[in-house]
Chain A
Amino acid sequence: MNTTRRQFTLLAAGASIALVTPARATPEKMKLAVDAFTGGKPVKEGRVKFDISLLVENGNSVPLSVLVDSPMTKDNHVTRIGIFNEKNPLPDVAIFNLTPRSGRAQVATRMRLNDTQFITAIAEMSDGTYFSAKSEVIVTMPACVEE
């Protein structure tokens, strides 16, 4: 596992390539991803509670949880929760499929964040309506990166 001078040079070259890699989501690309999720239907703010830290220590692992206000009955429940971002290489993060057997519309996971940005959670209801919440996350850069 020793890094030779040549490997180090290659790594450094790789790192600078990574910095100029153009592939990146944008708020516009995120909107396309959201439209694909909702079928272009309107999204209202509210009913979704987003729990994510404003300031994170490392963008490689950012804990988040989403709780949607819903009775979770057969006739009235959350069917899907989608998470989207505007600055990672891809706008999609995850889609969670819920059922009335979920009991509560609550999920938690950990995500990667390329940079300080807004994260959006959208809940799809069984009646075909959509609700959302948005949260800004500030990512601090670790001081000593290895690779």
Chain B
Amino acid sequence: MNRLACLVVVIGMALPAFAQDARKSGFDYMGPDTQAMQKDDLANPGMLSVLEGETLWNTPTGKAQKSCAACHGDATQSMKGVAARYPAMDDKTQSAIDLAGRIIQCRVERQEAPAPQREGRELLSLSAFVGRQSRDMPISPPQDAKLAATRAQGAALYSARMGQLNFSCAQCHDDNAGGHLGAAPIPQAHPNGYPLYRLEWQSLGSLQRRFRNCMSGMRAEPFAAGSTEAIALEAFLMERAAGMKLETPAVRP
């Protein structure tokens, strides 16, 4: 009996090493039409935003009349892998900052331009253009101990029951991932394609818009875009998806 128990323990311990990564991108849950739309750059509507972001990248703006390119040069080199590393620690404020927040910071402090609106066309296009430079690269959250508290806060939010329906993110996306809500498959909630073109939105949107979408579905008050909570949840999800490949700009139903 003891020996059997031992065997079970040994198998149990050995399994994770042999088991394949059970994590699946939202891409894997989509039908062939939607997958084809994402895979072809000339059919992926998210690429229209990337194109627009490229123009913005090269256009001088603000009182400084500097373009993004004036400091960062060729984005295909300088922005490669950047989106895979956010949210990161902002040294100046000593708090976690997301990629959109960093772009806003550059716009305001270095280009001396008005702060772009969260979910506005300018910020989404620039985020899509920067994100595109990391496509197919693995998500690589910074090895920064200072981010631990942020990630822990995100993990707590992910498991916290919220709203009138009293649901947590984890109840759908961990416990029932692969199942269905109505006719729609429930994915594992990996943040590996943002900003992405959602057919439901008929436009590009950020991960934080997706949070708002889920939370209003739970009848909870959504986190404000760019809030500490939203960034913490994003930091937790990026850590949870570490090593998965970025698909920006992804397409989702």
Interface residues in chain A, defined as those with a beta carbon under 8 Å from any beta carbon in chain B:
1-3, 8, 53, 55-58, 60-63, 140-146
Contacts and interface: CB of A to CB of B under 8 A. Distances in A.
Given A58-B200, A140-B182, A3 B253 contact: no
Contacts of A60: 199-200, 202
A146 to B, nearest CB: 4
Interface size class of B (residues with CB under 8 A): 20 to 34
Contacts, number: 68
B253 A142 contact: yes
B31 A53 contact: yes
Nearest to B197: A61
Interface of B: 30-34, 36-37, 117-119, 180-184, 186, 199-202, 209, 212-214, 216-217, 222, 224-225, 253
A137 B33 CA distance: 13
A56 B183 CA distance: 11
Given A141-B183, A144-B181, A144-B217, A57 B212 contact: no
B183 A140 contact: yes
A55 B34 CA distance: 12
B222 A142 contact: no
Contacts of B118: 1
A145 B200 contact: yes
A1 B182 contact: no
B180 to A, nearest CB: 8
Contact of A55 (B31, B37, B117): B31
A81 B209 CA distance: 39
A63 B184 CA distance: 18
B33 A1 contact: no
A3 B216 contact: yes
B213 A146 contact: yes
Contact of B34 (A2, A57, A143): A57
Given A53-B31, A60-B200, A143 B212 contact: no
Contact of B182 (A53, A62, A141): A141
B213 A144 contact: yes
A8 B199 CA distance: 21
Given A1-B119, A1-B225, A142 B200 contact: yes
Given A141-B183, A144-B181, A1 B31 contact: no
B231 to A, nearest CB: 16
A58 B252 CA distance: 9
Nearest to B118: A1
B167 to A, nearest CB: 11
B227 to A, nearest CB: 10
B213 A140 contact: no
9 contacts: A1-B117, A53-B32, A57-B31, A57-B34, A140-B183, A141-B184, A143-B182, A143-B183, A143-B186
Contacts of B216: 3, 8, 146
Given A60-B202, A141-B182, A143-B181, A53 B33 contact: yes
